[in-house]
Each structure stands twice: as structure tokens, then as C-alpha cells.
Amino acid sequence: MSRILALAAILLVAGCVVPASDVEPQSGSSGSVPADWWVNAVPSSATHPDHDHAKREHHLGLSTPNFEVVGWDPLVTQTFGTTLTGMGCGGTVTREDGMRLAVVHSISTKVSFVVADVTDPAAPKMLGEFYLPNSVVWDADISADGMHVLIGAYPPIFGGRGVTLPGPGLLDAPAWAASAGGMMQFRNACTGEVKAVGPANYLPGPAFIMVGIQDPTDPVFEAYIPQPVIGPHSVGSQMIDGVVYATSSVTNLVHSGSYYTIFTIEGSALVPYAVIQTPGIVGPTQLNGHTDVYLHKHPLTGATLAHLANWDGYYIYDISLPGAAFEVGRWHDVGNVHTTYPFPMLVDDKQYIVVGQEVGEPAELPSGWVYLLDITDPAQPTELGRWTLPVKPKWDNGGLQFSPHYVAILNQTLFVANYHGGLWAVDISDPAAPAAIGIFVPDRDSPAPYGGAETYGPGIGDVIVDQETGLLTTWDNAGGVYVLRFLEDMPKVHAPRWPGSDPGGA
């Protein structure tokens, strides 16, 4: 059966046929990129005293015309009758059957994740929502083969939620029972059916949880791996030489108590592969704000590497042999290291990587740094260049309002998700002088916004690039899923680089 016929069969069995779309692609504006496009791209009280970050009408027209909206779905849930909020981290994969799925978590509500079909990029369609009781889902991702959802579950105390104990008789309930109680549930957006999933007496994490989405409208509980003490801050998946890996990064706040666990996915099981204790500064009073890991086969050395975002710095571990992880290199600048992302291609026969911070409002800088490093020799990571926002906003809402979060690369363009600051396109054709060339700020209103029309302003925490089609998938914090096209051929208008953007020039 061809991939197209296989996809059609799956959709028909699921009872959720996705029709071809007649929606015309749209962009935030038309024409060429304005000469001073960056000046008003990040409005705040510093330049707009009356700006309200929660009002989406105050964010109209900020996107540059080199970003084109191909498709959008507000992801209206049946649980609330509204779009979710807290959609910060997700994943998108095209499966062997041709279906392209997008998964995103909600850190702010009891809905653990939603899954959407973005096979037709002009007509994204929500397939359903998953409810994991008694847990705060800090992160969710889709496995590299598109067959599983990986969940990082915290105990409910970290989200201010109470514990829902199993109801009367629930321990003996059949697997198909849809009682409320403490059961995992999935709501099918196509049929409205609510199904119980997995153990009837599920209790709180902390844990790394895997849910099978072989049929994305009928998920199944597959694995539960305890991850004490707080649980996985981030989860992820990469495929290397046909092996699907799953990663869990546990940030237990105290540095010496945090760790990374790496698994292979074999059938419906998470099989332990390696454990890495957080390296670097060790001590009971040393706090660790974040851990994250990206697995990658170095194209020049052939080694399978774990690139660790380890808060105080970036570390490289060789994990070529199961259970035998060892450090091969490290790099430090100013800390708050949040993410690592190896270039998906060699540049002049060299391997580069992006290393990004996550920060609160800096005193002198507009935001955190995103670094470009040369890791051709993994033992000697070397900074090539760095980038931050070209303008300095006032962080009126505090927290991580304009911080970098996750990144992606398409050809010679780096995409940086900057929360309320939107999604930035950065020209990295010269890695020593990365410069912004565009911005996307979502401004579409959900037909059923969470908490009211002017409660949550736009915000982007993650972006995924399809290297085959060039399309980008991203999620607005409370506005749904977008599929974008970046028009690389449009003449570039470079924003100025912030003073101190040369290597080592903080």
C-alpha cells in the first residue's frame, strides 16, 4: 500500500477525514521588508506607554512579510470549550505513513497535551486532547518516529493543583470505563468520545510517561518511569541510525541532585540506555535552573553525542556505548544555558551548534544570548558568534517575558522563539555576525479564547522545522497551532546587532 493510501486508511478508520483545504495562505503584511522593521517589533512601556501585552489588537502588523501563515487551528478543547493556555513546548514529525502530527503540552491547565494533524499544512486539524490526572505536565514531545508522545510529569503541588483520588469502585473499573476519578482520559475531537486510557488507579508523578499514538485518535498508555524528586523538566526524542531515542532531563533545583536519563524506544517500552549526573559545579547549595539534552551523531567523528544544556554551561558527552557515557568537552560563558541544537548540516565541512540561554530581564542586554559554536572538534567547543534582540524592551510582566527559549534552523536561517517577543528569523550565513531579518508575532484571535479575549497575549516558546518542505510549526501560548513558511528569497533587511555581540563581548 502506498504511503498516501495508508494515510487515507488510517484517517477513515479514525472517523476523522481531513479534507483538502481551500484556505489561501496569508502573511502579516505585504510587500518588501520595511527598512526599519525592528524598531517597533517588540512594543513595551519603554516605547509605547499605553501598550497592553494582553491585548492582541496591540500586536497587529508586527510580523514582517517574509513570514507567511500557511495554516492555523485554534485548538479549541472540549474540556474547557476554549483554546488552551500554557502551550509552550511541542514536537512535530512526519511519519512513515505520510501523516504529519503536531503535539503540544499545556503547563497551565489539566489538559496534558493536544494532538493535531498538520499533514495538510493549510488546514491543521485538532484530533484530540489527553488528560493525565494528578500531574503538572512540564513538557511533552513526539517521538522521532511519530508513534509516541513523551510526557514529563511533575507532582500537582508544582502547579497549585489538588490530587484527584480514584472514585468508588474505580480500581475495579473496566479499561473502557470513562469515569472521571483519577483516570487518564482522551477526548476525541472528531467524534466527541471520551475514553479511559491506561491504569484505572493512576496516581501522581514525578515520572517520565509514554503514550502510544499509533492511531492518534485512540492513544494507549505504554510506559511509566519514576523520575524523582520533582520530575522531568524537559523531554525529547531523536532518531540515530534507525534507533529511536527518548530523553528525560530532571531538574531537581539542587545541582548535584539533577540528572539526565536516556532510553531507547522498543515497541511500547522505554528501555534504559544511559544516565548522566549533571556535570560541572557540584554542591548542595548550587541551584540548577534547567537541564536539557539533544542527541546527535557527529558527522565527522561518527560518535553519538549528548549535548547537555546544563544551566551553568554546555557539556558534550559521548554515549556511543550503552551505559558508558563520558564527557568529551564543555563550554561556559555566563550561565542560564537552556537549549542546544546542532546544525542539521555541515558548514564548510565544519559542525556547528546553537546554544541558547533562558533569562529574566538583563540589566544591560535586551534579552539572553543565543550562541553559535564550532564543535568540529567536540573536545574544543569554540564560540563563533552570538545574537540577542536588536532593541531593548521593558519587561513589564517580568519573568521570562522576552527570553529566548527553543530554536530551529532552516538552511542559513536560525529561528528563535522569544516568548512574548515572538519568533525571530536570524541570518546565520556569516556565523560570526548573526543578524535578525524578520519576526512573526501571532495576532489571530481564537473563536473561544481561554479566560476572555484580552487575558492572554501572544507568545511563542517552541518552533519545529520540516527540513524536507521548509515549513515551520509553532504554537501561540493561548492561540493555537500555526504552520508558517519563511520566504528566504525575499531581500534581507538586517537589523543592527546589539553592542557586544562579537564573541566574548558580553
38-67 residue pLDDT tens: 999 999 999 899 999 999 889 999 999 999
pLDDT of residue 12: 36
Region of residue 287 (left: phi > 0; alpha: psi -120 to 50; beta: else): beta
Q: State the amino acid at position 160 in one-letter form.
A: G
- Three-class DSSP category at 149: strand
CATH hierarchy code of domain 3-17+29-486: 2.130.10.10
d(CA 154, CA 393): 33
d(CA 40, CA 179): 51
All three cell numbers of 461, joined, read 516558546
Region of residue 5 (left: phi > 0; alpha: psi -120 to 50; beta: else): alpha
Helix, strand, coil percent values for the chain (each to nearest 5): 5, 40, 55
Q: State the amino acid at position 415 in one-letter form.
A: F
Nearest to 387 by CA among 367, 401, 405: 367
pLDDT of residue 205: 73
pLDDT of residue 254: 85
Could you list the mean pLDDT of each consecutive 10-residue stretch along the chain, which spans 506 residues? 37 40 43 94 92 92 97 94 94 98 94 97 97 89 98 81 47 35 83 84 79 96 94 97 98 90 98 94 72 96 97 95 97 92 97 97 96 98 97 96 98 98 98 97 93 86 97 97 97 94 66
d(CA 204, CA 164): 9
- Three-class DSSP category at 120: coil
Contact 106, 130 (CB under 8 A): no
d(CA 83, CA 298): 40
Contact 30, 64 (CB under 8 A): no
Domains of the chain by residue range: 3-17+29-486
Q: Look at the pTM and tell me if it is higher than 0.75.
A: yes
* DSSP β-bridge partners for residue 100: 94
pLDDT tens-place string over residues 180-195: 446 788 999 989 999 9
| 232 to 31, 153, 184, 252, 359: CA distances (angstroms) | 45, 6, 19, 9, 20
- Three-class DSSP category at 60: coil
pLDDT of residue 249: 97
d(CA 55, CA 441): 13
